[in-house]
Structure 1
Amino acid sequence: MFRKNRLFVFLIVALMLIMSACSNSTGGGNESSGEKENNSGGEKAAENSGKLVIYTARDQTIVDQVVGMFNEKYPDIQVDVLTMGAQQVLERIRGEKSNPQADFWWGGTQSAFMTGAAEDLLEPFKPSFDASILPEHKDKDGRWYGEMLLPEVIMINSDMLSKEEAPQDWDDLLDPKWKDQIIIRGVLASGTMRTIYSAMIHEQGADNPEAGYEWLSKLDANTKEYAQDPTNLYLKLARQEGSISLWNLQDILLQKNEHNQPFDFVYPESGAPILVDAVGLVKGAKNLENAKVFYEFLFDPETRATLAEDLYQIPTRTDIDKDQMPDWFKDIELKSLDLDWGVMAEKEAEWMQHWDENIKGKN
């Protein structure tokens, strides 16, 4: 009897062990596999979902198209965009340094980005397209990359002036016959205008800015008004309150061809400041991985070709097939002024403060 009981107990224990082993190899294994799948899915979701905060100086038309394209590819990433002047972006990121609110800085002059890098506002990053960007169009430590090139040119109302009648070079703008015909976008808040004015000072001699200040004083004498923002500038030129301005080629073509504005441009004979319009990751960004996703998306060859066709952007990537570029680009010769961008970045704040305090509206 005792043997039978012992055998019975042995069989029960053996059966329990077998059931436990089966449970570990099936249910337990599935749970482990499920954890791996969940973790993997979670990592993937983290890359393609969540939030992204962008500070940008881009025109709203560009913002709407690019963010729309991005959301088509990454629908689970919520993109919040705050639009302001290029200089204001720098100042805001600087003011938020101890508690960054933005993840991605989209658009600004290389001077602004050089300043941002020097002040430790930007996160180093080596993207997949690094080798396709020329050294002069990126930061050597990967803190910013030029997204596109922006020639700064002479803008005209084509209902008031033909290209032949318009000023053909920078010094022509100082001719008294253009008095009260020039409307300028407010300089201090505009990366474009700060670049143009700094370039004019540099052209007269960067070692001693007095000649450059005199040049800007003569331009101020011919300037009718300083417009509050780009929208205000376009409105005043379209209303024929003035016939001439200084602006970037991309936005002129965009307003002319997409918004039917009576605008055209003259590419200055001596050359143009060709601004490297850059992007970068904000140091301490709360959504850094999503910012990197947007970074890569912006520079994707397909994105660049679309933006060249639709928004008149000149990409910095050197590996894009020339046949992909639109006809408007093939007709433009990009002649650049010989500028030391490092000097301009170093001196810009000083030069612009002097202009604001001693030249603006005083001639």
Structure 2
Amino acid sequence: MLSPSLRLSKRALLSLAALATSAAVLSACAEPSESEDAAATTATADGEKTILTVYTSEPEAKVDEINAAFMAAHPEIEVEVYRAGTGDLNARIAAEKESGDIEADVLWAADSPTFETYAAEGDLAQLQDIDTADLIEEAVDEDGYYVGTRIIPTVIAYNSELVKESELPQSWADLTDPKYAGQLVMPDPAVSGAAAFNASVWKNDENLGEEWINALGENAPMIAASNGPTSQEIAGGGHPIGIVVDYLVRDLAAEGSPIDLLYPSDGVPFITEPAGVFEASENKEAAELYINFLLSEEAQQIAVEQNYLPVREDVGTPAGAPALADIALMTPDLQVVTDDKDAAVELFQNAMN
């Protein structure tokens, strides 16, 4: 059952008719879930498996682990994955729309604004049978087009062998101090969906804004292709301080790398790695089974083991990670962030050159 919940802001782009449809769908979901019945009907009549195509920005090893668990629970479904950064996924989807229909069933990637845009363009189906009862409200789209699967904050990370504790920045504002010139690294917002989201959050924050972005550019940060190379650059010491998603720091620290993190005192932007079903999908029942699995206690426990903060509170958190309630989250107007994302990315690119 898809249960409505308040989230950060309303979608201004959807028409009144779409909102009315959403209300009808949510009301219709008052009956008990029929997920098990759907599972029995996903295989074709001649016994062949349903092929479910997932476009995702999840790291390969992590998505493979989730998919293996899902296919063990649902042997009638075979999951095929196309994995790329959010920018590349968007380019592929745009090309497929130009030539015909989107070829994937599920999109599982990065940030809510990406999904807001696809929902407004009619590319996402409203979810019919998704159980959100145990999820935190930040993970649930009130109009029912997508649902978050992880909480992924962006933090300040540092090389613990090269940076003394007394020299650490404590806030985003601190990163503009000239003493950090030449020491910083961050992901490219033109490639990383999380970085693009962050750019818009920072640009529209009254305490940071364009002035902060331009001042950060004066410290000449290295721009890595994405969050993965950013975390490696920090751990390797080439640029010992950086801006990166938190789970990658925990991954590297667990492997023995000299890297640690702090959650800035002026708040952290975060993404929820949403999942949704494309309207053009011919496998919507199987796609919703997949999303329900991502939200299940089993899959959320796997997410915690993969160093993510979960979207439900009954599975704990990764070792050494704070509870979500203990992190100062930046909670911008989601519509503003969505509408301004392209301009924010352009501003960042100009500021860093």
Query: TM-score normalised by the shorter chain: which range applies?
Result: 0.7 to 0.9
Distance across 1 between alignment mates of 2:282 and 2:83: 19
Distance across 2 between alignment mates of 1:69 and 1:261: 29
Unmatched 5+ stretches in structure 2: 1-37
Q: Which residue of 2 aligns with 1:32?
A: none
Which runs of structure 2 are paired with 1:79-158 in the superposition (5 Å)? Answer: 79-97=79-97, 98-158=100-160
User: How many residues matched?
Assistant: 311
Distance across 2 between alignment mates of 1:350 and 1:135: 28
Distance change in 2, residues 1:159/1:110 (3 Å): same
* Deviation readout 1:66-109 (Å, 9 max, x if unpaired): 12222322344332211111233233323323311111111220
Task: State whether residues 170 and 265 of structure 2, in contact with CA within 8 Å, keep that contact through their aligned partners in structure 1.
Answer: yes
Distance change in 2, residues 1:78/1:270 (3 Å): same
Q: How many angstroms does 1:239 deviate by?
A: 2.6
Q: Which residue of 2 aligns with 1:234?
A: 231
Q: Which residue of 2 aligns with 1:34?
A: none
Distance across 1 between alignment mates of 2:165 and 2:131: 38
1 or 2, which has the higher helix percentage?
1
User: RMSD of aligned C-alpha atoms?
Assistant: 2.5
Distance change in 2, residues 1:223/1:284 (3 Å): same
Q: Which residue of 2 aligns with 1:174?
A: 176
Q: How many angstroms does 1:113 deviate by?
A: 1.1
Task: State whether residues 196 and 344 of structure 2, in contact with CA within 8 Å, keep that contact through their aligned partners in structure 1.
Answer: no
* Deviation readout 1:288-322 (Å, 9 max, x if unpaired): 332222111111112212321x11222223xx436
Q: Which residue of 2 aligns with 1:292?
A: 288
Q: Which amino acid aligns with 2:64?
A: D
Within the candidate set 355, 359, 362, 2:348 is matched to: 355
Q: Which residue of 2 aligns with 1:195?
A: 197
Task: State whether residues 183 and 233 of structure 1, in contact with CA within 8 Å, keep that contact through their aligned partners in structure 2.
Answer: yes
Unmatched 5+ stretches in structure 1: 1-39, 206-210
Q: Which residue of 2 aligns with 1:11?
A: none
Q: How many angstroms does 1:235 deviate by?
A: 3.4
Distance change in 2, residues 1:330/1:182 (3 Å): closer
* Deviation readout 1:302-359 (Å, 9 max, x if unpaired): 2212321x11222223xx436x545434566221124212211111112222333x32
Q: Which residue of 2 aligns with 1:65?
A: 65
Task: State whether residues 52 and 283 of structure 2, in contact with CA within 8 Å, keep that contact through their aligned partners in structure 1.
Answer: yes
Q: Which residue of 1 aligns with 2:279?
A: 283
Q: Which has the larger radius of gyration?
A: 1
- Structure-1-length-normalised TM-score: 0.78
Q: Which residue of 2 aligns with 1:249?
A: 246
Q: Which residue of 2 aligns with 1:314?
A: 309
Distance across 1 between alignment mates of 2:166 and 2:279: 48
SS of residue paired to 1:307: helix
Task: State whether residues 49 and 77 of structure 1, in contact with CA within 8 Å, keep that contact through their aligned partners in structure 2.
Answer: yes
Greater CA drift, 50-59 or 89-98: 89-98
Within the candidate set 259, 262, 265, 1:263 is matched to: 259
Task: State whether residues 185 and 222 of structure 2, in contact with CA within 8 Å, keep that contact through their aligned partners in structure 1.
Answer: yes
Greater CA drift, 101-110 or 43-52: 43-52
SS of residue paired to 1:277: coil
Task: State whether residues 188 and 223 of structure 2, in contact with CA within 8 Å, keep that contact through their aligned partners in structure 1.
Answer: yes
Q: Percent same amino acid among aligned pairs? A: 25
Task: State whether residues 90 and 116 of structure 1, in contact with CA within 8 Å, keep that contact through their aligned partners in structure 2.
Answer: no
Distance across 2 between alignment mates of 1:162 and 1:73: 48
- Structure-2-length-normalised TM-score: 0.80
Q: Which residue of 2 aligns with 1:12?
A: none
Distance across 2 between alignment mates of 1:232 and 1:72: 32
